[in-house]
């Protein structure tokens, strides 16, 4: 079998097959089966938030000050259901992208085997997200028809470096946030458990995707680099639209128009978005993948200062 270009290397970096081999070993040592790793029978803790206050879109606004404690907790439940739903959509798209990638790969290589391992992780994550949405007494947010059509087509365009960068956009922003909040003692225990499992397994996925980007960039043409450096900016408005929308406030029983307006203008929420995007932004900069168009899109969406 021939070796795909992204697995060859000119520098001292280990080749992708070696990276994949190490990640497979890591997966064997430390993986979780949420069906047994989470205590599904434990009751929800009265008065605890489903997401820490500081990451809720309205935290710090005038509207937030008017909300009762119950309303705030309910909003945290709906925002959790939303973020897990977005995670489900993203992992669905990623897995289909990876499956298509596998059609072009040597099925006997560690590279292919790690891709399959990662897909298995994501299948368990999707189950876990769905179960937690149900467990906290919320309902999942569903994609609209037009979004579903786009999500069906997307994996066919996510090839080469676009697949890796797309994976990082979906993984790193949530990851940075989860790392900061999973230890919050005010969090519902089931949510904290979910985040601990997810952070552990995503660390491998992020490593794999980052290595994928770096290897790919060594052989990329200027055109490919330019294209990826600017197309990745679409992630900004997509994330913004997915994470803050009226549907969340409707379900929380709030004035959705006012809530959306105040959330969009909320400097605290913007700061959280910037902090969440910072590690990925730095990585993209380092690899020459933050084009002018993309930078403006991330800024407009509130993820860059
Ligand atoms: Fe995941
Ligand atoms: Fe992942």
> By C-alpha distance, which of 218, 208, 200 is closest to 21?
208
> By C-alpha distance, which of 232, 228, 169 is closest to 6?
228
Q: Which residues lie at CB < 5 A from ion ligand 1?
A: 125
Give the distance (Å) from ligand 1 centre to CA of residue 245: 23
From the CA of 178, which ligand is nearest?
Answer: 1
Asked whether residue 184 is domain-assigned, the answer is yes
Give the distance (Å) from ligand 2 centre to CA of residue 210: 12
Give the distance (Å) from ligand 1 centre to CA of residue 274: 21
Asked whether residue 38 is domain-assigned, the answer is no
Give the distance (Å) from ligand 2 centre to CA of residue 163: 12
Asked whether residue 39 is domain-assigned, the answer is no
From the CA of 207, which ligand is nearest?
Answer: 2
Asked whether residue 291 is domain-assigned, the answer is yes
From the CA of 166, which ligand is nearest?
Answer: 2
> By C-alpha distance, which of 84, 197, 86, 72 is closest to 136?
84
Asked whether residue 270 is domain-assigned, the answer is yes
Asked whether residue 35 is domain-assigned, the answer is no
Q: Which domain holds residue 72?
A: 15-27+45-300
Give the distance (Å) from ligand 2 centre to CA of residue 202: 5
Give the distance (Å) from ligand 1 centre to CA of residue 2: 30
Within 8 A by CB and 6+ apart from 41, the residues are none
Tens digit of each residue's pLDDT, the chain (305 residues): 334 444 444 456 778 888 888 988 898 888 888 888 899 999 999 999 999 999 999 999 999 999 999 999 999 999 999 999 999 999 999 999 999 999 999 999 999 999 999 999 999 999 999 999 999 999 999 999 999 999 999 999 888 889 999 999 999 998 988 888 888 888 999 999 999 999 999 999 999 999 999 999 988 899 999 999 999 999 999 999 999 999 999 999 999 999 999 999 999 999 999 999 999 999 999 999 999 999 999 999 999 99
Asked whether residue 88 is domain-assigned, the answer is yes
Domains identified in the chain, total number: 1
From the CA of 194, which ligand is nearest?
Answer: 1
Give the distance (Å) from ligand 2 centre to CA of residue 62: 36
What are the CA-CA distances from residue 103 to residues 2, 96, 153, 204 (Å)?
A: 14, 11, 17, 22
Give the distance (Å) from ligand 2 centre to CA of residue 167: 7
Asked whether residue 230 is domain-assigned, the answer is yes
Give the domain CATH number at 131.
1.10.620.20
The per-residue pLDDT for range 284-302, each reduced to its tens digit, is 999 999 999 999 999 999 9
Give the distance (Å) from ligand 2 centre to CA of residue 247: 26
Give the distance (Å) from ligand 1 centre to CA of residue 288: 26
The per-residue pLDDT for range 134-168, each reduced to its tens digit, is 999 999 999 999 999 999 999 998 888 899 999 99
């Amino acid at each position: 079998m021939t070796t795909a270009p992204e697995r060859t290397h000119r520098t001292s970096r280990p080749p992708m097959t070696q990276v994949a081999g190490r990640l497979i070993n890591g997966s064997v040592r430390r993986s979780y089966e949420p069906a047994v790793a989470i205590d599904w029978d434990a009751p929800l803790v009265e008065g605890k938030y489903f997401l820490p206050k500081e990451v809720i879109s309205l935290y710090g606004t005038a509207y937030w000050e008017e909300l009762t404690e119950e309303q705030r907790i309910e909003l945290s439940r709906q925002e959790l259901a939303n973020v897990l739903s977005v995670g489900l959509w993203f992992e669905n798209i990623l897995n289909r992208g990876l499956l298509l990638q596998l059609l072009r790969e040597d099925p006997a290589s560690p590279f292919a085997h790690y891709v399959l391992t990662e897909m298995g992780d994501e299948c368990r994550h999707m189950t876990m997200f769905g179960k937690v949405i149900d467990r906290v007494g919320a309902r999942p947010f569903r994609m609209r028809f037009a979004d579903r059509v786009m999500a069906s087509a997307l994996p066919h365009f996510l090839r080469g470096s676009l697949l890796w960068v797309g994976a990082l956009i979906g993984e790193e922003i949530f990851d940075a946030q989860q790392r900061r909040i999973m230890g919050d003692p005010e969090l519902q225990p089931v949510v904290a458990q979910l985040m601990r499992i997810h952070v552990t397994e995503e660390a491998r996925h992020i490593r794999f995707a980052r290595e994928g980007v770096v290897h790919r960039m060594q052989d990329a043409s200027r055109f490919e680099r330019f294209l990826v450096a600017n197309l990745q900016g679409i992630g900004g408005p997509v994330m913004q639209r997915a994470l803050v929308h009226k549907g969340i406030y409707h379900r929380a029983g709030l004035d959705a128009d006012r809530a959306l307006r105040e959330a969009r203008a909320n400097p605290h929420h913007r700061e959280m978005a910037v902090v969440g995007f910072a590690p990925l932004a730095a990585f993209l900069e380092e690899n020459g993948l933050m084009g002018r168009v993309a930078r403006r899109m991330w800024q407009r969406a509130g993820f860059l200062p």
